[in-house]
Amino acid sequence: MPQIELAGKTYEVDEDGFLQELDKWNEEFAQAYAHTEDIQGTLTEEHWKIINYLRSYFQQFGIAPMVRKVCKDNGIDMKKLYELFPTGPAKGGCKLAGLSKPTGCV
């Protein structure tokens, strides 16, 4: 299992860099990981809103929500969402939120 070191801590990730130990997620992880997903500087309140939304949806339903749903529930459009997470909400957003990679025929 590959590992990455962020802000002095070691995390187990899959080969695409998705966190494998979901309970080890913390805010430092998200912040330290942000630059690999093309986010410059400090995560803003808008980023946290989406990250927290993704995490709470995942905790309840076991999956990441459809992207359109992310937009609707947070009152933003697709363009804005891609501005926040340039590598895409499904990849960058979920990675920072510590969600596992989508599985099944998707």
Partner 1 sequence: MNRRLKPSDIASVSDCLCHIGPGELTPLPSPYEDFNQIALSPLKPEKIKNIETSLDDTVAIGIPKPATKEEDEALVRQFLSGLKKLFEKENNWTFLQPLMLSMEHCAKCQTCSNACPVFEMSGRKEIYRPIFRSEVLRRIYRKYLKLGGKITAKLTGDLDLNWTTIARLAELSYRCTLCRRCAAVCPIGVDNGLINHEIRKLFSQEMGIAPKEIHEKGSVQHLRVGSSTGMNPMAAKDSAEFIQEEMEEITGYKVDIPWDVEGADILLLHNAGEMLAWPENVGAFAIIFQAAGISWTMSSEAAGYDAVNYGLWYDDVQFSRVAIKHADIARRLKVKKIVIGECGHAHKALTVIADRLLTGDLNIPRESAMVTLEDIVMSGKLKFDPGKNNFPVTLHDPCNVVRAMGIVEPQRNILRKIAPQFREMTPHGVENYCCGGGSGFAIMSGYNFAEWRNLVSSRKKFLQILEAFHDEPQEVPKYVCAPCSNCKGSIRDIINYYHAEERSSLYYGGLVELIVNALDGMKKPIIRFGDKPSWE
Using CB under 8 A, pick the residue from 9, 24, 35, 69 that binds partner 1: 69
CB of 64 or CB of 96, closer to partner 1? 64
Query: Cβ(79)–Cβ(58) under 8 Å?
Result: no
| Active site (annotated) includes residue 71 | no
Which residue, 35 or 68, has its beta carbon nearer to partner 1? 68
Residue 63 CB contacts under 8 Å (≥ 6 apart), including other chains: 57, 102
Out of 22, 43, 67, 76, name the contact with partner 1 by CB under 8 A: 67
Rounded to 10°, the helix 45-61/67-74 angle is 120
Task: Decide if residue 106 touches partner 1 (CB under 8 A).
Answer: yes
**Least distance (Å) between residue 63 CB and partner 1:** 5
**Nearby residues of 10 by Cβ (< 8 Å), 6 or more positions away:** 3, 4
Q: Residues 101, 14: contact at Cβ < 8 Å?
A: yes
Q: Kindly state whether residue 102 participates in binding partner 1, applying the rule CB under 8 A.
A: yes
Binding stretches for partner 1 (CB under 8 A):
2, 14-16, 60-63, 66-69, 78, 90, 100, 102-106
